Amino acid sequence: MFLVFSVLAAAQSEAPVARPEVKVDDRWVYRGTDRRRKPPASVYEIRVSFVDSKVIHAVVARQGRRDDSDATWTAEWNAVVAVDEGVFEVEQGMFQFPLFPGKQYAAAWEIRRPRAGAFHVRHERKVTVMGWEDIEVPAGRFRALKLQAEGHYRRVDRTAADEARNTFWYAPRVKRWVKHVYQDNQLEVIEELYFYRVQ
């Protein structure tokens, strides 16, 4: 009996991961760490306020701030207006469902930050779905699909360019990633799941 259950569980984890069915009031709490900031760590909650076949809209509440902000993603969790208020123009998303080990695809997007003047940067990546991993974060232990995105960024508003990498651990039962790490030559930003409640 145990062997049958193990085989069934393995087969399910190897099935392609479909786009998540996000619902209003689904929520996630993350701790972000960015050593450029003081303090370097921040905690924020994302709570879905509207969803349809094209878009996910959420209210973002940050620890220590009285005012909430908004964030918007495509239905595949590709940022349109990010948690940090960056505005994205997505050519090819970082997430292209269904996801399965071995899948590879290109991703490209541009970011502007209207509140930061002329800031404008272009990112390009080659995304590889590496496979399933068990990962532990403050919210618990999860079976997650690891996505490795290698490429570069180029500042459009001034002369600057370098290699960049995004690594995501996407957990289907959470409907989102449980950990994300962004790295380039100057910084490392880490986002880990602390709490979630989904329907």
Q: pLDDT of 149-164, one tens digit each? A: 999 999 999 988 999 9
SS3 sequence of 30-46: EEEEECCCCCCEEEEEE
Task: Give me the phi and psi of 34, to 5 degrees please.
Answer: -140, 110
Amino acid at 156: V
Q: How far apart are the C-alpha atoms of 168 and 148, rounded to whole Å? A: 7
Q: Is the pLDDT of residue 182 over 80?
A: yes
Q: What's the confidence (pLDDT) of residue 114?
A: 85
**pLDDT value at residue 13:** 57
Average pLDDT over residues 43-64: 95
pLDDT of 2: 47
Q: Considering only 31-40, 102-111, 164-173, 185-194, which range has the smallest mean pLDDT?
A: 31-40
CA distance 196 to 90: 27
Q: What is the pLDDT of residue 63?
A: 87
Mean predicted confidence (pLDDT) in 105-129: 94
Burial track 115-127 (b if 16+ CB lie within 10 A, e otherwise): eeeeebbbbbbeb
Mean pLDDT of the chain: 91
Q: What is the pLDDT of residues 1-47, one digit of tens each?
A: 444 444 444 445 579 999 999 999 999 999 999 887 777 788 999 99
Q: Give the residue-averaged pLDDT of 142-148.
A: 98
